[in-house]
Amino acid sequence: MTRMALAEAPLPKREKSAGDVIDDIFRELDVSVVTSDNPGYHGEQLLPRVGRVLVRRVGVLVQAQFRETNLDRVYYDYERELSVAMIIRSQTSSGTTDEKLGSPIKVLQSCVYPIGWLICMGTGFRQWTLREAIETANQITKSSNKLIRVITACDESILRRYIKALVEDGNPGGRVA
C-alpha cells in the first residue's frame, strides 16, 4: 500500500472505554460532563454551582498516604448537596486488575468525599476478588461515616440502573430495581 493510500485509509473504530460509557450514560440523563477540577469553572465559562455535573479526573489528597491521587469521576448534585467519588476499573479477560481492588477502596475510604463508588466493568473479574472487595466496602460503610459501594457491571444495563437511581432519585448506594 502506498503512502497516499495509507493516509486516506480510515482509522479503525476505537472501542469505547469504561469511562466513556459512564460519561455517555450521565449525558443521557442531562448531566454536564466536564474536565475541570474546579466545580465552579468548566472549560472556558464560569458556571454557577447548580444542577448536576460529572467531573472527570479529579485530583484529591489521600489523607492516609498524604499524597495526591486522581479519582476517575466525581458526580455533584448541588441541589441535593450530594457528591459521589468514582474509581473505574475495567477487565475483559483474566488479568491482574481484580487482584488490586483493595487499593482503590482505600483511596475512596481516605478521600474527602463521603460517598464512593468502585465501578468494576467487564467479565474478566474473578468472583472471589469481587466478593472480597464488596465485603471490605461493607465493613468500611458499617464502621465509619462513609458509604462505599462496589458496583459490578458485566453489562451496561446494571450500571445504567445505578446511575439513573443516583441522578433521578439521589440514591447513591441503595438497591436498584
pTM given for the model: 0.81
pLDDT for 3 equals 53
- Looking at 28-166, which runs of residues are DSSP E strands? 32-34, 41-42, 45-46, 52-62, 67-77, 82-90, 115-121, 147-153
Domains of the chain: 17-36+49-169 (3.40.1350.10)
Compute φ and ψ for 57, nearest 5 degrees. Answer: 50, 70
What does each C-alpha distance from 135 to 17, 123, 152 come to in angstroms? 27, 20, 13
Confirm if 73 and 33 have CB atoms less than 8 A apart: no
Give the whole-angstrom CA distance, residue 39 versus residue 30. 17
Confirm if 102 and 136 have CB atoms less than 8 A apart: yes
Give the whole-angstrom CA distance, residue 23 versus residue 55. 9
Where do we find the cell 457528591? 83
Instruction: Render each residue's pLDDT in the chain as its tens digit; 177 residues.
Output: 555 555 565 655 667 888 899 999 999 999 989 886 554 555 555 556 678 888 887 766 555 555 667 788 999 998 999 999 999 998 877 766 667 888 899 889 988 889 999 999 888 888 888 999 999 999 999 998 899 999 988 778 889 999 999 999 999 876 555
Give the whole-angstrom CA distance, residue 121 versus residue 145. 26
Q: At what angle do helices 102-110 and 127-143 cross, to 10 degrees?
A: 20
pLDDT for 26 equals 95
What does each C-alpha distance from 89 to 28, 81, 99, 151 come to in angstroms? 22, 26, 11, 10
pLDDT for 122 equals 84
Output the CA torsion 15→18→19→24 (10° steps): 70
pLDDT for 47 equals 58
